[in-house]
Structure 1
Amino acid sequence: VHESNAVPGLTTKMLSKVVDRVMVGFEDSRQHYPHPERVVVTGTPVRRDFFNDTRREARQKLGLADGKPMVLSYWGSLGADVMNRYMADFIAEEVGEGCPIHHLHGAGRNYAWLTGELGCRGVALTKGGDVEVREYIYDMPLVMAAADLVICRAGASTISELTAIAKPCILVPSPNVTNNHQEKNARVLEQHGAAVVLLEPEIDGKRLYGTAKELLADRDRLTAMSKSLTELSVTDASEEIYQTLIALLK
């Protein structure tokens, strides 16, 4: 059994009573199992193309030649109605300030609404401009590598990708998931100083933008967050899982 979430649900707890090993993403997960001695921290596998480019190489490929920081934001492949409403305010704020950052946002199914809403507010998104809204982001490894800050949900795969490449992040966990597992995922990173966690019902677009600006202005904090993420990461998770299985077979 490979459990990606930071805190497993009842089904996994039941399984852990009968299986020989439970493989988890973080050391913090061990305490939540009735047999912690059977838990192996393997990490969660991340696609190798997330490691293809450095920040500098990725920025060059995206044509970012100036010194402006880059923010990447997305709410999953389907988007999120509430969060994309917040992003309308976020984008309006940054455009109103003269676009102090490069910003790429993936809107998912809310793309038509979001671009239409921005148009109604007089926010013109031009091709090659500092603010870009896409329906889907197909080159996620590249744009994530180029980003200085990522704003997103806290699903297991996303957490693993951010941790693997040590990317500072603002996490807004989805409140609509089983056992509130996304907030539990996010809190693991927060407790290690590796992420800022904001809860959807407690924020709006202006607060989200303000938090992003504060983080981008504090290079020391961003560096510390990256260091903490590196300490949490398991970059050879596939190998760890394989070796755990081989040891069981022997």
Structure 2
Amino acid sequence: MEAPLILLTAGGTGGHLFPAEALANVLKASGCRVVLATDKRANAYAGSFPADEIIEIPSATPSGRSVPKMAKAALLLAQGTFRAMAVIRRLKPDAVVGFGGYPTVPPVLAASLLKVPTAIHEANGVMGRANRLLARRSSLIATGFAGIKGIPANVPGRVIQTGNPIRPAVLEAAGQAYAPLEPNGRMRLLVVGGSQGARVMSDVVPPAIELLPQDLRERLVITQQARGEDLERVRAHYGRLGVAFEAEPFFTDLPRRLGEAHLVVARSGASTVAELAAIGRPSILVPLPGSLDQDQAANAKTLGDLGAAIVCPQTEFTPERLAAEIRSTFQEPERLTKAAAAAHSASITDAAERLAHAVLDLIHLNKNGKPS
């Protein structure tokens, strides 16, 4: 019997592609064939994706109040759906699994129309708009967090919590125990802003470090992700302060750097929160403001409620506030160790296996009328 073929589809950012990559690895290890459908942004992240084929599907995000822009987005999504229907007819996948973002709408919608079993995974604490649109057409809804908000009432598919799948590199880093900050030792501070970077980190973190006493600055080793347009001013600022630092637009070995960090300052995308929990690292989380769903605030709250993270709204994320938080961790390093343990308590390291099992059960149910 031919191995099952699963078509995975994800928006072209790390937050969507990394969980899809984790599932793909598990499916491939179990003998399945995997194809990825995504958008053109995925080129930066899809190089290591374990897919037999990567297919670009046209899509767009309907946003704003401009009628022409909305109409253009709707047209692109319709074109993407027709393209996805042709792909599905050619590939004949046993299931289609979406990981959120509007690029998943055409493939999942096309699969639904062609009576192919569908699943969606919602990584955030609030269901995103694309997944809400697809929820009633999905045979299975898997969630990263318990009790997420925004799932439409009376959806026909099964709803289960699997956790958020994490990449093999994160699982490897999760095996590294937290190294407590030693008295008078050096603190490894990691600053990241999601796969696209975050300008606020470049605006706030270097001035915060400047506010620290010289003796504390000398104890810092900073690794910071900075957007390309912000990179030189970040490097110049740290160079002027004489602190040990490394600044780049993107780190391909971020899981390893998470494992080495004493403290992480970051946005609170679902993948970031899942990786902080899996590896067990304390953090200061600055949720992305202004989103309609406030999903990052919900994600951050899961760690904040455990004492694993300090949740700082962007309106309060000032150099003075950050400097005070860093100073207090130097004064009470045991707080970092307790926060690391609290983060690890929220870890779900077998989420990819749980999701793979649910997808394979869905396929088996569709073919045989009962789960495996």
TM-score by length of 2: 0.57
Cα distance, 1:68–1:133 mapped onto 2, change above 3 Å: same
Q: Residue 86 of structure 1 contacts residue 204 of structure 1 at CA under 8 Å; is this kept in 2?
A: yes
The answer as to 2:337 corresponding to 1:223 is yes
Q: Report the equivalent of 1:4.
A: 123
Q: Report the equivalent of 1:152.
A: 266
Equivalent of 2:159 in 39, 42, 45 = 39
Q: Report the equivalent of 2:278.
A: 164
Equivalent of 2:208 in 74, 87, 90 = 90
Shift of 1:186: 1.0
Q: Report the equivalent of 2:78.
A: none
Equivalent of 1:51 in 147, 157, 171 = 171
Q: Report the equivalent of 1:206.
A: 320
What one-letter code is carried by the residue in structure 1 that aligns with 2:231? Y
Equivalent of 2:311 in 197, 214, 221 = 197
Identical amino acids, percent of aligned pairs: 28
Q: Report the equivalent of 2:140.
A: 21
Shift of 1:202: 1.6
Q: Report the equivalent of 1:102.
A: 221
Cα distance, 1:148–1:141 mapped onto 2, change above 3 Å: same
Shift of 1:24: 0.7
TM-score by length of 1: 0.81
The residue correspondences of 1:67-146 to structure 2 (distance < 5 A) are: 67-94=185-212, 96-97=214-215, 98-109=217-228, 110-118=230-238, 122-124=240-242, 130-146=244-260
The Cα offsets for residues 190-231 of structure 1, whole Å up to 9 and x where unpaired, read as 123221100111221121122133235434433333333223
Larger radius of gyration: 2
Note the residue ranges of structure 2 that are not aligned, 5 or more in a row. 1-119, 366-372
Count, aligned residues:
239
Cα distance, 1:95–1:132 mapped onto 2, change above 3 Å: farther
What one-letter code is carried by the residue in structure 1 that aligns with 2:236? G
Paired with 1:145 and 1:172, the residues of 2 have a C-alpha distance of: 20
SS of 2:160 mapped into structure 1:
strand
RMSD of aligned residue pairs (Cα, Å): 3.0
Paired with 1:161 and 1:123, the residues of 2 have a C-alpha distance of: 31
SS of 1:7 mapped into structure 2:
coil
**Consecutive aligned runs of 4 or more in structure 1 exceeding 4 Å deviation:** 30-33, 53-58
